Amino acid sequence: MSTNIKNNLPQTNQLTLGVFGFGVVGKGLYDVLKSTPALQASIHKICIKNPDKKRAIPAENFTNNAHELLLDENINVIVELIDDAEAAYTIVKTALQNGKHVVSANKKMIAANLEELLYLQKKHAVAFLYEGACCASIPIIRNLEEYYDNDLLSSVKGIVNGSTNYILTKILEEGLGFKDALLQAQQLGFAESNPALDIEGHDAANKLSILLAHAFGKIIETSAFLYSGITSIKLSDAQLAKQKGLKIKLIATAQKVEGNKLAAFVLPQFVEQHDELADVSNEFNGLITESSFADKHFFKGKGAGAYPTAAAVLSDIAALRYNYKYEYKKYYLQTDYELSNDYYLKVFVSSNDIDKINKEDFEWIEEWHNEATNNWVVGIIHAGKLLENNWWKQPGVSLILNQNPIVTNVEYRKINKKSLELAGVV
C-alpha cells in the first residue's frame, strides 16, 4: 500500500487518527466512529492529560506523550479536542508543520490564532477543518464558505452558545436559579471547563470572530468588537420581558451597516415571540443569514453536547476523504468590508441604582422608569461609546438590546426631534 502521508492522504484515503482529548467530545467521537465503520477512519492513539484517570476503554489506547501522535508517520489526521487553548495551539501548529491534516473544535484557540493557522495550512498543503467549533452540529462554516460564496450576504446573526441558551431557558422559562441552571449545563456536558468563557460571552465572541472570517473574509480579534454575556441579566428584566411578550437571548450579530462598514457584537437581546430565534431553546443554537438574492435562511441544531459536537467533527473527518479544505476565498480576495463601531444601538438599561446609568452617553432617551430598586431606560447610544466606557458592565446594571437594535438615520432623527421640540409638539 502506498502511504504518502507527508502532505497528502494515503492513496486508499484510509484515515488514521491521532486524537487529543477524551472528555465530553473526545469520548463522543470515539462512540460515533464505532457506529460508522464505513468511514474507514480508525483511531490509532489518544493523548490525554491525566494518565491516572479511569477511562471507559482499555489503557493501551492512551498516552500522555503528545509526540507519540505528532511524530507518528502512520497518523495522517490529528483531531484536537482538548479544553486548554494554549496547549491546543502548540498541538495544532506542530501537526500542520508535520504535514498532518487537523480537525479541531477549539473556538478559543482558533479565534486567537486564525491568521497564523491559515498561513500554516497553506504553506504545508494540508487541511484544517473546525465545523464543531461554531454552533457544534450546525454546518454553518461550510455553508458560509460554499453556498454564500457568490451571494451578497448582508448579515449573520443568532444564538451561538449552547450553555448560555440552556441557562437562559431554564431561568427565564422554567424559573430555575442561575447557579442551578449552570450546574445542570455543566453536568450535561454543555458548558466549557471554565464556565466564565460561556457566561461572560467570550465563547460566543470567539465564534463570532470565526463567523466573520467565513462570512465576510475578515479576521478580527474579539477585543475589537462589543460583547458581553448573561451574568448581569436580572429577574426584574425577565419579568418585564414576559409582561411585554418578549424573550431574552444572547445573540451574536455580524451585519453590514452602511457602505462597506461591518457591525459585529454579542449582547443579550429581546426577541419577539414570532422571531425564529425565540423558539431556539435549551442547548440548541440558531442562526439567520440574510442575503440579497436568497433572502433569509434559518439554521437550527444542537449547539453543544457530546454527540452533536462529535457529529460535526466526524463530518470534517469524512470531508478529508475527498480532500476538502476551506478556501477562504473572501479573505484572500480582500473584500473591502471594514469592522466599524460607528453605528447606533437601541438599548434597554436597568440598574438597582439610577446613578450607575450614564445618561450623558445616550443620543436620546425614549422611555424612563424610576423606582427605588428598579430603574430602567430605553435609549439610543453609539456603539463606540459602549466599547470605550464600562459603566454598563458594573454589578447591578444590565444592558439588553432592542428587538431591532441597529438604528439608522440617527442624525436625521435628532434634527427631526429637535424641530418638534422647538415647535412645542413634544
Ligand X SMILES: NC(=O)c1ccc[n+]([C@@H]2O[C@H](COP(=O)([O-])OP(=O)(O)OC[C@H]3O[C@@H](n4cnc5c(N)ncnc54)[C@H](OP(=O)(O)O)[C@@H]3O)[C@@H](O)[C@H]2O)c1
Q: How far is the CA of 86 from the CAs of 89, 90, 106, 124, 226, in angstroms? A: 5, 7, 10, 22, 24
The reply on whether position 24 binds ligand X by CB under 6 A is yes
Indicate the DSSP class of residue 172: I
Instruction: Please say which residue, 26 or 158, places its beta carbon nearer to ligand X.
Output: 26
CB of 57 to ligand X, least distance (A): 12
Q: Of the candidates 26, 158, 229, 301, which one interacts with ligand X according to CB under 6 A?
A: 26
Phi and psi torsions of 108, nearest 5°: -65, -45
Applying CB under 6 A, the span of 222-230, 235-243, 301-309, 355-363 interacting with ligand X comes to 301-309
Per CB under 6 A, 193 contacts ligand X: yes
86 beta partners: none
Residue whose CB is less far from ligand X, 135 or 248: 135
Nearer to ligand X, 21 or 286 (CB): 21
Q: If you write DSSP's letter for every residue of 302-327 in order, what string do you get?
A: E-SSHHHHHHHHHHHHHHHTTT----
Provide the grid cell at 292: 440579497
Of 103 and 277, which has the nearer Cβ to ligand X?
103
DSSP state of 197: H
Q: What is the 3-state secondary structure (H, E, C) of 242-255?
A: HHCCEEEEEEEEEE
φ/ψ of 147, rounded to 5, equals -70, -45
Q: Does 334 bind ligand X (CB under 6 A)?
A: no
Site string for ligand X, 31-50 (x = CB under 6 A): ----------------xxxx
Q: Does 301 bind ligand X (CB under 6 A)?
A: no
Residues 19, 41, 78, 83: which binds ligand X (CB under 6 A)? 83
* Adjacent-strand bridge partners of 365: 379
Backbone phi, psi, residue 327, to 5°? -95, -15
Q: Is 201 in the site for ligand X (CB under 6 A)?
A: no
CA dihedral of residues 201, 207, 211, 214 (deg, nearest 10): 150
CA angle 166, 109, 34 (to 5 degrees): 70
Contact residue for ligand X among 105, 114, 181, 263 (CB under 6 A): 105
Query: Which are the contacts of 324, defined by CB distance < 8 A and separation ≥ 6?
Result: 127, 129
Site string for ligand X, 151-190 (x = CB under 6 A): --------------------------------------xx
Per-residue contact string for residues 48-67; x = within reach of ligand X by CB under 6 A: xxx--x--------------
Q: Answer yes or no whether residue 68 interacts with ligand X by CB under 6 A.
A: no
Among 81, 111, 310, 345, binds ligand X (CB under 6 A): 81
Q: How many CB atoms lie within 10 A of CB 334?
A: 9
Which residue lies nearer to ligand X by CB, 240 or 319? 319
Provide, rounded to whole angstroms, the least separation between the CB of residue 133 and ligand X: 6
Buried b (16+ CB within 10 A) or exposed e, 152-171: ebebbbbbbbbbbbbbbbbb
* Candidate list 68, 72, 84, 275; residue touching ligand X; CB under 6 A: 84
Which of 214, 212, 209 lies closest to 227 in space, CA to CA? 209
- Considering only 106, 143, 165, 253, the residue that binds ligand X (CB under 6 A) is 106
Report the distance separating Cα 125 and Cα 374, nearest Å: 58
Determine the Cα–Cα distance for residues 64 and 43; give it in Å rounded to an integer: 15
Closest CB 77 distance from ligand X, rounded Å: 16
Q: Does 317 bind ligand X (CB under 6 A)?
A: no
Pick between residue 237 and residue 316 the one whose CB is nearest to ligand X: 316
* Binding status of residue 23 toward ligand X by CB under 6 A: yes
Query: 3-class DSSP state for residue 78?
Result: strand
Residue 22 as a binder of ligand X (CB under 6 A): the answer is: yes
* Residue closest to ligand X when measured from CB atoms: 23
Least Å distance, CB 190 to ligand X, is 5
For residue 37, how many other CB atoms are within 10 A of its CB? 9
Binding site for ligand X (CB under 6 A): 20-26, 47-50, 53, 81-84, 87, 105-107, 132-133, 136, 189-190, 192-193, 304-305, 309
